[in-house]
Amino acid sequence: MSNRSNRPLIIVESPTKARTISRFMKAKYDVKASMGHIRDLPKSKLGVDIEDGFKPQYITIRGKGNAIKELREAANQASGVYLATDPDREGEAISWHLCHVLGIDPREAQRVVFHEITENAVKDAFKKPGPIKQSLVDAQQARRVLDRLVGYTLSPLLWKKVRPGLSAGRVQSAALRLIVDRELEIESFKPEEYWTIEVLLEGEKGQVKAKYYGLGGKKWELKSRSEVDAVLQEIRDAEFIVVSVKPKERRKNPPLPFTTSTLQQEASRKLGFPVSKTMRVAQTLYEGVELGDGGYAGLITYMRTDSTRVSPVAVKEARQYIQGAFGKEYIGRARSAKSAPGAQDAHEAIRPTAVLRLPDEIKGFLTEDQYKLYTLIWTRFVASQMSSAVYDTVTCDMEANRHVFRATGSRLTFPGFTRLYEEGADTTEEPEGEIIPLSPNERLELKHIDPQQHFTQPPQRYTEASLVKALEQNGIGRPSTYAPIIATLTEREYVFREKRRLVPTELGRLVDSILREHFPSIVDVGFTADMEKQLDAIEEGASGWVEVIEEFWKPFSKQLEEAEEQIERVKLQDELAGVDCDKCGRPMVIKRSRYGKFIACSGYPECKNTKPFVERTGALCPRCKGDIVVRRSRKGRVFFGCINYPECDFVSWKRPVPGKVCPVCGCFLVEAGGKSKGYRCGNPDCKYTEKS
């Protein structure tokens, strides 16, 4: 080492990150990329010596030979080596593997950690390098070994008992259980009837709508038409009197800055991004973007975090911007949330590295997706430092023959953070009406009564966003694992997407039922969450990784032996397509691939005939009366077109509403969309509309 006279070497994971850091360090350092992990467990075998303390048998990843050779040559010529991989377990493990490949003692390594790739943050980090944190490496190693033990023992069992190519994973199996449980809830759901009564009342200063609340001050739910008729009989000729007017001030606090989970959820709701896309785009914003004369810069802080904590410097910068852009009254009070149990609080929340780097000012340097995600992160962070929105609200109760009707209204009196940002939601809430000035004891005239029958709805299937939320709430996985979990479930054909919601396939349900019966701990949400806590304890130095693995392996290996004997070979039945093969006459069945559904001959492999899957909507084309079927554009967008294409080129971007036909032209109806509650004719040449 003493003979080295060249510049120090910095090693990071990616070329983009290397380019960004090179600009900050000028010509004082050489910067090279490892291109991610350089060593891993072998793919061809278990790669874990169970008899020798679960020792991992690491090998060089195929294709990384030249990269390692280049790094070794550069390290031998350098006056020192700095390891600047990402600031988490995975990054620490990559640095640890680099130490072993380059012949560096991890205890003497110069490990550099920064949570944003900006010039000040990077230069400050290089002033205080430290050794590899072995507890972080052990936590990552424990996760890797655990997942390998489960995946490489359970998967072959599924190949033998169900079909080749299947997989089971420690975390993915618990996630699959959540999706299957939700489907079982939906299937067993029994709708219950209930009724609402809305009345239109007129007072001295205008009209007001109110809904039935109850009888004699007590809330009462109307369950049948007979109950509704009884109420209507008693109020029809009764006098409505205002019995209470309760004004209030309500404050709506701004949302906290993004964590990985909330970013994935909001990007799904607002931008329609799959979880994997959100993380891919966020990675590019973190590693650095060319900003013209501004050079390379990392635009956001590290995007894998459970924390909502923000540095005082960033808070100060945001507040200065808010005062200048909106006024002093828009600066909010300091707020923070308690970290969830097991949360990784080593990093800050996800925020822009510079608030004054406004999205529109750098739009020309970003891709469309980068601009959308950066704008979302920027507005969320700035809004988090703004004041609360303030509303005047009022609740009015009106009584008619002891039956109480209630009206609520609100008015925004100070917009606060809502001038900049409104948080998305998975469900839509009915908006409150405007405040109508009513006075106690005021008498109101009944103008209209509207009783309506309703039925309770089953729980909704998970979207990617709501599944991520459920995984986080149940302590399953960590920020870095949410995207791979969902990707694995879809790639293995355990779930598929329908209208952006995750639906378990028959294969997924079969695998889940086998695991529930023979490996209950693997699919148990509580057990999986407890294992995450044990991994956290390893990271904190409170547990040894080998002991944690051993405690898991003893009962699990016994379950494996019993399952091998007890599980009988399962024949998975394909869904019939309802047509026969035009080549051999055998029934055709519905299959799924990563590109969607198709139909194939049940006589495979003797007959390899396949056809596109046609999903009929039940509606007829207004031009030629052919079936309207579901189609996809080249970009994957769903639309609805005539089955007789190209002879008939009729298309609609709106899905036909079952059973709804236009009385004018006979075409199907579609939902009107927007703020309109109703339907319109699917034929663009017809202007018929209908209220719902």
Measured CA to CA in angstroms, residue 183 lies from 170, 399, 519, 594 at distances of 21, 43, 21, 21
Tell me: do 557 and 660 sit in the same domain: no
- Per the structure, the complete domain to which residue 433 belongs is given by 193-253+390-455
The identity of residue 165, as a single letter, is G
Measured CA to CA in angstroms, residue 21 lies from 33, 91, 122, 504 at distances of 11, 16, 8, 44
Tell me: do 249 and 285 sit in the same domain: no
CA distance from start to end of the chain: 79
Q: What is the CATH number of the domain that holds 70?
A: 3.40.50.140
Structure tokens at 159: 């190949």
Average pLDDT over residues 318-340: 85
pLDDT tens digits, one per residue of 141-176 = 999 999 999 999 999 999 999 888 888 999 999 999
What does 312-333 look like in DSSP terms, one character per residue? HHHHHHHHHHHHHHT-GGGBPP
pLDDT tens digits, one per residue of 627-653 = 888 887 766 677 888 888 888 888 888
> CA 259, CA 272: separation in Å to the nearest integer?
18
Q: What is the CATH number of the domain that holds 548?
A: 1.10.460.10
Q: Which of 555, 584, 613 is the last residue of a domain?
A: 613
* Parallel, antiparallel or unpaired: strands 110-111 and 81-83: parallel
Helices 170-188 and 482-491: crossing angle in degrees, nearest 10, is 70
Q: Where are the beta strands (DSSP E) in 375-504?
A: 389-400, 403-414, 443-455, 495-498, 501-504
Predicted local distance difference test score (pLDDT) of residue 381: 97
Structure tokens at 371: 């601009």
Given the residues 212, 302, 374, 391, select the one marked as catalytic. Answer: 302
Tell me: do 601 and 534 sit in the same domain: no
> How many alpha carbons lie under 13 Å from residue 120 in its C-beta half-sphere?
3
CB 299 within 8 A of CB 378: no
Phi-psi region of 341 (alpha: psi -120 to 50; beta: other; left: phi over 0): beta
Predicted local distance difference test score (pLDDT) of residue 293: 78
* Parallel, antiparallel or unpaired: strands 218-219 and 206-215: antiparallel
Measured CA to CA in angstroms, residue 206 lies from 201, 209, 381, 448, 581 at distances of 9, 10, 42, 14, 68
CB 478 within 8 A of CB 342: no
CB 511 within 8 A of CB 488: no
Measured CA to CA in angstroms, residue 124 lies from 85, 112, 116, 450 at distances of 16, 10, 11, 68
Tell me: do 80 and 59 sit in the same domain: yes
Tell me: do 326 and 379 sit in the same domain: yes
Q: Considering the domain boundaries, does residue 3 fall inside one? A: no
Tell me which residue of 489, 469, 447 sits closest to 264, measured CA to CA: 469
Q: Considering the domain boundaries, does residue 1 fall inside one? A: no
User: Domain tally for the chain?
Assistant: 6
Predicted local distance difference test score (pLDDT) of residue 1: 40
> CA 235, CA 246: separation in Å to the nearest integer?
23
Q: Which residue has the higher pLDDT, 500 or 244?
A: 244
> CA 246, CA 214: separation in Å to the nearest integer?
18
CB 322 within 8 A of CB 46: no
Predicted local distance difference test score (pLDDT) of residue 373: 98
Tell me: do 230 and 304 sit in the same domain: no
Tell me: do 471 and 562 sit in the same domain: yes
Q: Considering the domain boundaries, does residue 277 fall inside one? A: yes
Predicted local distance difference test score (pLDDT) of residue 429: 60
Q: Considering the domain boundaries, does residue 4 fall inside one? A: no
Q: Where are the beta strands (DSSP E) in 205-355?
A: 206-215, 218-219, 240-252, 289-290, 296-297
Residue with tokens 């008619």: 400
Predicted local distance difference test score (pLDDT) of residue 620: 87
The identity of residue 668, as a single letter, is F
Predicted local distance difference test score (pLDDT) of residue 510: 93
CB 141 within 8 A of CB 93: yes
- In this predicted structure, the answer to whether residue 529 has a pLDDT above a threshold of 70 is yes
Measured CA to CA in angstroms, residue 19 lies from 12, 31, 295, 575, 640 at distances of 10, 8, 10, 52, 46
β-sheet bridge partners, residue 331: 386
Tell me: do 226 and 178 sit in the same domain: no
Mean pLDDT of the chain: 90
**Sign of the four-CA dihedral 617, 619, 624, 625:** positive
Q: Which of 553, 583, 613 is the last residue of a domain?
A: 613
β-sheet bridge partners, residue 680: 670, 689
- In degrees, rounded to 5, the angle at the alpha carbon of residue 62 between the alpha carbons of residues 61 and 68 is 65
> CA 472, CA 169: separation in Å to the nearest integer?
18
pLDDT tens digits, one per residue of 41-52 = 999 999 999 999
Q: Is the pTM of this model over 0.85?
A: no
Q: Say whether 162 sits in a helix, a strand or coil.
A: coil
Predicted local distance difference test score (pLDDT) of residue 652: 87
115-132 in b/e form (b: 16+ CB < 10 A) is bbbbbebbeebbeeeeeb
- In this predicted structure, the answer to whether residue 342 has a pLDDT above a threshold of 50 is no
For the chain, how many residues are written?
692
Q: Considering the domain boundaries, does residue 269 fall inside one? A: yes
Q: Considering the domain boundaries, does residue 498 fall inside one? A: yes
pLDDT tens digits, one per residue of 411-463 = 999 999 999 999 887 665 666 677 778 999 999 999 999 999 999 999 999 99
Structure tokens at 297: 């810069």
> CA 265, CA 273: separation in Å to the nearest integer?
9
Predicted local distance difference test score (pLDDT) of residue 71: 95
pLDDT band at 4 (very low <50, low <70, confident <90, very high): very low
Predicted local distance difference test score (pLDDT) of residue 284: 96
- In this predicted structure, the answer to whether residue 96 has a pLDDT above a threshold of 50 is yes
Which of these ranges, 240-249, 310-319, 562-571, 613-622, has the smallest mean pLDDT?
613-622
Q: Which of 534, 566, 598 is the last residue of a domain?
A: 566
* Strand (E) or helix (H) holding 194: strand 193-203
* Strand (E) or helix (H) holding 187: helix 170-188
Tell me: do 328 and 414 sit in the same domain: no
> CA 432, CA 439: separation in Å to the nearest integer?
19
Q: Which residue has the higher pLDDT, 216 or 455?
A: 455
Q: Considering the domain boundaries, does residue 653 fall inside one? A: yes
Q: What is the CATH number of the domain that holds 211?
A: 2.70.20.10
- In this predicted structure, the answer to whether residue 676 has a pLDDT above a threshold of 80 is no
- In this predicted structure, the answer to whether residue 594 has a pLDDT above a threshold of 80 is no
Tell me: do 329 and 444 sit in the same domain: no
Tell me which residue of 476, 472, 559 sits closest to 177, measured CA to CA: 476
Tell me which residue of 410, 415, 447 sits closest to 429, measured CA to CA: 410
Helices 368-384 and 312-325: crossing angle in degrees, nearest 10, is 90
> CA 501, CA 465: separation in Å to the nearest integer?
9
Task: Note if 302 is an active site residue.
Answer: yes
Which of these ranges, 71-75, 479-483, 682-686, has the smallest mean pLDDT?
682-686
Interacting residues of 83 by C-beta distance below 8 A, sequence separation 6+: 11, 95, 98, 99, 109, 110, 111, 112, 132
Q: Considering the domain boundaries, does residue 374 fall inside one? A: yes
pLDDT band at 576 (very low <50, low <70, confident <90, very high): confident
pLDDT tens digits, one per residue of 364-420 = 999 999 999 999 999 999 999 999 999 999 999 999 999 999 999 999 999 999 999
- In this predicted structure, the answer to whether residue 575 has a pLDDT above a threshold of 90 is no
What does 452-513 look like in DSSP terms, one character per residue? EEEE--PPPPPBHHHHHHHHHHTT-S-TTTHHHHHHHHHHTTSEEEETTEEEE-HHHHHHHH
CB 369 within 8 A of CB 277: yes
CB 487 within 8 A of CB 468: no
> CA 103, CA 1: separation in Å to the nearest integer?
11
Distance of CA 400 to the CA centre of its chain: 48
- The radius of gyration computed from the CA coordinates of the chain, to the nearest angstrom, equals 31
Predicted local distance difference test score (pLDDT) of residue 427: 61
Tell me: do 199 and 271 sit in the same domain: no
Tell me: do 628 and 603 sit in the same domain: no
Predicted local distance difference test score (pLDDT) of residue 337: 56
